[in-house]
Copies of this chain bind each other. A is one copy, B any other.
Amino acid sequence: MKNLLIASTSTLHDGNYLEYLLPELQLHFAHCKTILFVPYARPGGISHDDYTLKVKSFFTLLNIKVNGLHEFSNATGAIEKAEGIFTGGGNTFLLVKQLHQNNQMQILKKVIENGTPYLGTSAGSNICGLTMQTTNDMPIIYPPSFETLGAIPFNLNPHYLDADLHSKHMGETRETRIKEFHQFNTQPVIGLREGSWLDVKGDQIVLKGALSARLFRQNQEAIEVESGSEMGKFQ
């Protein structure tokens, strides 16, 4: 049975890294002594080692050991044997390129479908959708495909941001961008605000956190969906 936490962000403005998710993570990774960390998204371009260290440091609070996927010569085996997996945020293009290039997207998909507990934040959440095409990230590198894990029958827009009605800036709002996406693509998109996450257990996808999410479907007006809602009915 699928078992994922798909979080909009790793860090709230007034908090420390993963802090707001701590109680959830204690439950989510309760049966894990070690987890495998996928550091490929490299926020700010930091190294795989430095990124993994940051994650190791957090998980000592839960008494869980962390290994970086880049540390294994047999990465496929590491994914297959992982007790739990966490993919951190950063740049989604970089993450997706590396996963495709290393032939790890399909293996990751398989173990997630088989029930390995998975945590994603930001870019690591983006890849849980059908494609990465509703990322906010800059295309700093060219991936061989935009396809991602499809662990949920949606696309995601993490760090979802409402339009600033006082802004004089003429760049597109997030809502406009997602509407443009729906001119060419059919899958629904969940705009996941910071502090929100999806709790996936099998086919059940429940919105968690204090805020509502914004749901975009092709040829329909966007709607607000309250926290606690089962999202599966909107697919």
Contact = CB atoms under 8 A, between A and B. Distances in A.
Interface of A: 9, 11-14, 42-45, 90-91, 93-94, 132-142, 145-146, 159, 161, 168-172, 176-185, 194
30 contacts: A13-B169, A14-B168, A42-B180, A43-B172, A43-B180, A45-B179, A45-B182, A45-B184, A93-B139, A133-B138, A133-B139, A133-B141, A134-B138, A135-B138, A135-B139, A136-B138, A136-B171, A138-B178, A138-B180, A139-B146, A140-B177, A140-B180, A140-B184, A142-B145, A142-B146, A159-B169, A159-B170, A159-B171, A161-B169, A170-B194
Contacts of A91: 180
A152 to B, nearest CB: 19
A180 to B, nearest CB: 5
B183 A42 contact: yes
